[in-house]
Amino acid sequence: MKKLYITVLGIAFLTSCGGGGGNKSVDKIIESGSLNEMKSKRSEIVQQRDELSARLSQLDEAISKLDTLHKLALVSTMRVKDTLFNHYIEVQGNVNTKQNIVINAEYSGILTEVYVKEGQDVQKGQLLAKIDDGGLSQQLAQAEVQASLAKTTYERQKRLWDQNIGSEIQFLDAKTSHEAQERAIAQLKDQIQKTRVTAPFAGTIDDIITDQGSVVAPGNPLMRIVSLKNMYIEAEVPEKYLPSVSKGTEVQIDFPVLDKTVSSKVRQAGNYINPNNRSFKIEVDVPDTDGDVKPNLTAKLKVYDYFKKDAILIPQSLLSENAKGEQYVYVAEKNGKDSEGIAKRVIVTPGKTQGDIIEILDGLSPGDHIIKEGARSVEEGQVVKIIAEK
């Protein structure tokens, strides 16, 4: 702007004085109406302007070499690098286990024995408690005696029948009596088995709900048993991530209360979209964590839904938008001088974001120098001074 201003002043000066080798002023030549004279005068002035511009350029170059106080826009830059990009989504879930149940009574009677205590580890099938059977054991013993007699009678009648001795009615009566006694014994054993409270799986007795000596009925809670094995975390993921989150997707689990982080994978992705919040459920395995992870514990999940090994990542704060809605950044192109460059506006195509970082799909290449500090104050083609680079 300074050079243009001086050039215009010089031309105006020459024009007003009628100098430049001509005797007539511009006004007189225009008044004369001679086209040839006007063209000749214009060529003369253009030549003078070019000569002045060349001299001004020489002066500017000489001044810039000697003047150490000339003002340039001060900027800092960062060198573009390609790097690994693991994009993830953050969701929250709770620890669950399918082996966390309350054992209920299946028979009416007095809880005569409780063989375990809270915090005790038990094995699958281990006897935990006993309910008074109300004389079922004696009935079973009597039924077994009767069944033994019925069996002997049936076997003898069968041998006679096989030899065509006796009537068919006698044989069928003995057979029916024997089978009825066997069914009665099975029913009594089944009833007696309900008086025995056993562990459905290996775990830990978390709570004794009913004390020994209490009268119980079917459905009354007796104790809670919990297994800390095969635990999982259930969480809900927005439906837009359905194409990228599936069985086997890598997950990082953070337990804030325990200050612990472990790695795992999605073991199941739901096939149903909840219409209320437009999300689907996932289940994530909880690895063995020395028993400190408990059911219903809150966990934060980082579900990795996108991976790229040579991604270009920049801070989102460096992006600007023009009137067309295009995203752009400023790049400093070296102009041959140390610590100096020329600002160039580059249109970019943004990709996925992660926190304050955004992926650039197109427009930048490794090695480019993006202007960071000072990017909002520079203009296209402006000479800048680079004071720092990362």
CB atoms within 10 A of CB 332: 27
User: Residues with Cβ < 8 Å from 31, sequence gap 6 or more?
Assistant: none
Bridge partners, residue 238, by sequence: 279
Angle of helix 35-66 relative to helix 2-17, nearest 10 degrees, comes to 140
If residue 41 lies in a helix (H) or strand (E), which one and from where to where? helix 35-66
Q: Are 29 and 44 in contact (CB under 8 A)?
A: no
User: Residues with Cβ < 8 Å from 71, sequence gap 6 or more?
Assistant: none
- 212-237 residue pLDDT tens: 999 999 999 999 999 888 899 999 99
Report residue 238 as tokens: 């927005």
Cα–Cα distance, 202 to 205 (Å, whole number): 10
pLDDT, residue 155, reads 87
Q: Please check the confidence at residue 5 and state whether its pLDDT lies above 80.
A: no
Cα–Cα distance, 146 to 154 (Å, whole number): 12
Mean pLDDT in residue range 107-130: 94
**pLDDT-based confidence at 65, cuts 50/70/90?**
low
**What are residue 373's phi and psi, to 5 degrees?**
-70, 130
Cα–Cα distance, 275 to 292 (Å, whole number): 35
Output DSSP code: residue 362: E
Q: What are the distances in angstroms from CA 246 to CA 240, 342, 359?
A: 13, 47, 23
Output DSSP code: residue 310: E
Lowest mean pLDDT among 26-35, 115-124, 147-156, 266-275: 26-35
pLDDT, residue 344, reads 93
Q: Are 49 and 7 in contact (CB under 8 A)?
A: yes
Bridge partners, residue 348, by sequence: 327
Q: Is 6 helix (H, G, I), strand (E, B) or coil?
A: helix
Cα–Cα distance, 115 to 133 (Å, whole number): 17
Lowest mean pLDDT among 143-147, 162-166, 313-317: 162-166
Q: Are 264 and 253 in contact (CB under 8 A)?
A: yes
- 151-181 residue pLDDT tens: 898 888 888 888 888 788 888 888 898 889 8
Q: Is 360 helix (H, G, I), strand (E, B) or coil?
A: strand
Query: Rg of the chain's alpha carbons, rounded to an integer?
Result: 47
Cα–Cα distance, 224 to 294 (Å, whole number): 14
Cα–Cα distance, 280 to 101 (Å, whole number): 26
pTM of the model: 0.59
- 336-370 residue pLDDT tens: 777 888 899 999 999 999 889 999 999 999 999 99
Bridge partners, residue 284, by sequence: 233, 266
How many Cα atoms are found within 13 Å in the side-chain-facing hemisphere of 233?
30
